[in-house]
Amino acid sequence: MRHCLALDLRDDPELIARYEAHHRAVWPEVLAHLRAHGVRELEIFRLGTRLVMLMDTDDAVFDAQRMAAAQHDNPRIREWEALMWQFQAPTPWTPDGAKWTAMQSIFRLRDAVPGAP
């Protein structure tokens, strides 16, 4: 399954550069955590301060609640999340206490029905 999530960065060029640098050298424990929970592929895109994450998961393994619970049980993953939160900010539409927020799909080419001329 594909998930699309959004999050913002703090509007500070130095912080944004540091955030990107961390993502060029993601901790091995973070990569292992993602893979262990059924994340097959993950990409993060940035436009200004807005981030969009595309995450492809194995439906037989992936469970967002189980992954979040395991995150809280792992000190190294908690450390990574705390570090990332120094750079991140909720979007205006993010519920209180949340970070990455699911985006609503509004168009899919393979499901598109041609409009009237």
pLDDT digits (tens, 9 = 90+) for 47-59: 999 999 999 999 9
pLDDT digits (tens, 9 = 90+) for 11-54: 999 999 999 999 999 999 999 999 999 999 999 999 999 999 99
Average pLDDT over residues 55-73: 94
Which pTM was predicted? 0.91
CA distances from residue 21 to 14, 58, 89 in whole angstroms, order as listed: 11, 28, 18
Q: Is the pLDDT of residue 117 over 70?
A: no
| Cα gap 110→43, rounded to integer Å | 21
Residue 96 lies in a domain: no
What's the pLDDT score for residue 115? 84
Residue 116 lies in a domain: no
Residue 48 lies in a domain: yes
| Cα gap 7→102, rounded to integer Å | 9
Q: Which ranges constitute the DSSP H helices of the chain? A: 13-23, 28-36, 64-73, 75-85
Residue 105 lies in a domain: no
| Cα gap 106→76, rounded to integer Å | 36
Residue 73 lies in a domain: yes
Helices 28-36 and 75-85, packing angle to 10 deg: 110
What's the pLDDT score for residue 89? 97
Q: Is the pLDDT of residue 116 over 80?
A: no
103 and 4 Cβ atoms separated by less than 8 Å? yes
pLDDT digits (tens, 9 = 90+) for 73-115: 999 999 999 999 999 999 999 999 999 999 999 999 999 988 8
- CATH number reported for the structural domain that contains residue 10 in this entry: 3.30.70.1090
Residue 117 lies in a domain: no
Q: How many domains does the chain have?
A: 1
Domain that holds residue 67: 2-91
Residue 20 lies in a domain: yes
Residue 101 lies in a domain: no
